[in-house]
Amino acid sequence: MKDAPIHLLLFLLLGTAIVTLGTFYSDADDTRARKAWPRRMLNFFAGCAILVVVMLVCEHTFASLG
């Protein structure tokens, strides 16, 4: 667990790069892409957070069965 902050930082860096590139490549107009970028970032990181919660619930549920 001592590497958790480094892994979180790398995830944030790569996630930001992926969302930014996807936003600007999907829209021909940079002005619209800049306006859509915050919403896409929020959607991406909120989706990742929901996935983490689901995985932790599953881990807690299935680990307690044994």
CB count in 10 Å sphere of residue 20 = 14
How far apart CA 54 and CA 8 sit, in angstroms, is 18
How much is the pLDDT for 4?
87
> What's the pLDDT band for 63 if we cut at 50, 70, 90?
confident
pLDDT in tens, 6-53: 999 999 999 999 999 999 999 989 999 999 999 999 999 999 999 999
Contact (CB, 8 A) for 44 and 19: yes
Does residue 1 register a pLDDT over 70? no
> What's the pLDDT band for 66 if we cut at 50, 70, 90?
low
Which pTM value belongs to this model?
A: 0.80
DSSP state of 5: H
Supply the DSSP string of 6-66, one letter for each residue: HHHHHHHHHHHHHHHHHHHHH-S-HHHHHHHHHHHHHHHHHHHHHHHHHHHHHHHHHHTT-
